[in-house]
Structure 1
Amino acid sequence: MGDHEGHAQAGPATPAGPAGWRPALRATAHCLTGCAIGEVLGMAIGTALAWHTVPTLLLAIGLAFVFGYSFTLFAVLRVGLALKAALGVALAADTLSITTMELVDNAVLLLLPGAMDAHLSDQLFWWSLALAFAIAFVATAPVNRHLIARGRGHAVVHRYHGH
């Protein structure tokens, strides 16, 4: 695969082109990676400290946004973008994707009986996170596809570097 295959470009979107699933899935995997690192870290900290559900979720969601934005921020900083511009790119590229990912995965965790009470040593803790991430990935991919087809989301990032 070439460095620029599947990137959003000007012109009408086609299923195999800019609005195709490949760039959307790549953007969603990128989002999931940052979100998962932050979310697992937040859930692990909250669980280890025996925090209640709300503070644990707030920490996990906050860290998911921090790590999610950081992945994009550092990528565009490496190509020479100034910090203020890089922050703008990260916010434009990732906000809707991270928000969707977090809403879905935390809703799944809240709906799974015992998931928010499971300890780090419980299989339920890890299985519920894995299931929540998988469902969130499926829900977020169409959002990213829609954004990329319109030159938004990760299409914004690709204006600054090859991915």
Structure 2
Amino acid sequence: MQHDAHTAHDHHQQAVAAGSWAMAVQATLHCLTGCAIGEVLGMVIGTAFGWGNVPTLILAIILAFFFGYALTLRGVLKAGLSLGAALKVALAADTLSIAVMELVDNGVIVLWPGAMDAGLADPLFWWVLAIALAVAFVLTTPVNKWMIGRGKGHAVVHQLH
């Protein structure tokens, strides 16, 4: 019996290692979805209320984390975890990924000349946001691969399915 458990554990570790790039891409796309929803919603709300760049950016970041965690929560709650356990899994699975994604994509937006002053009707806003999210995806995928390879991040979420 102990041998069977050890073999199953080895098989799972091999599956995680073999599929880590695919899992990393999937995890990063998941992160990108939550971040994009939060970013756009935050920008729309901030613009609608006439807020300045800093409060709008802060709201967008908060909403990116909220929606990133919410997407994971939805899946792990479906797997039958309690809300408390699901929150722990979502926080462990997504925090680093969302943080890197937000740091990169907001860094691109802040550093891009004119992007922070572009309104929602300005194509510059949408082009820079798309480029920023693409750059963030490329730089966050290796972070997710590193975490998955160590049995962390979305590897934990995938164990529940």
What TM-score, normalized by structure 1, do the two folds share? Answer: 0.88
Say if 2:89 is the partner of 1:89: yes
Q: CA deviation at 1:84?
A: 0.2
1 CA distance for matches of 2:39 and 2:135? 15
The CA deviation string for residues 60-107 of structure 1, in whole angstroms up to 9 with x for no partner, is: 000000000000001110111000000000001000000000000000
Cross-structure match for 1:10: 13
Q: Structure 1 residue 46: deviation in Å? A: 1.1
- Asked whether 1:65 is paired with 2:65, we answer yes
Mapped to 2, the partners of 1:78 and 1:39 lie a distance apart of 26
Match of 1:123 in 2: 123
Matched, 1:110 2:110: yes
Q: List aligned pairs for 1:10-159, cutoff 5 A.
A: 10-11=13-14, 14=17, 17-19=18-20, 21-159=21-159
Aligned twin of 2:3: none
Structure with higher Rg: it is 2
C-alpha separation between the residues in 2 aligned to 1:112 and 1:154? 31
Equivalent-residue separation in structure 2 for 1:124 and 1:45 (angstroms):
18
Aligned partners of 1:38 and 1:66 also within 8 Å: yes
What does residue 5 of structure 1 align with? none
Structure 1 stretches of 4+ moved >3 Å = 11-14
Distance 1:138 1:67 in 2: 20
RMSD of aligned C-alpha atoms? 1.5
- 1:18 Cα deviation from its structure 2 partner: 3.9
Bigger fraction of residues in helix:
2
Q: TM-score, normalised by structure 2?
A: 0.89
Q: Which runs of no fewer than 5 residues in structure 2 stay unpaired? A: 1-10
Determine the C-alpha separation between the residues in 2 that align with 1:35 and 1:12.
28
Q: CA deviation at 1:50?
A: 2.3
SS at match of 2:32: helix
Is the 8 Å Cα contact of residues 101 and 136 (structure 1) preserved in structure 2? yes
Cα distance, 1:12 vs structure 2: 9.2
Uncovered stretches (5+) of structure 1, i.e. residues with no partner: 1-7
Shift of 1:109: 0.3
After alignment, is 49-58 or 84-93 more displaced? 49-58
Summarize deviations over 1:109-158 as a string: whole Å, max 9, x none: 00011111111110011111101100000110000000000000100101
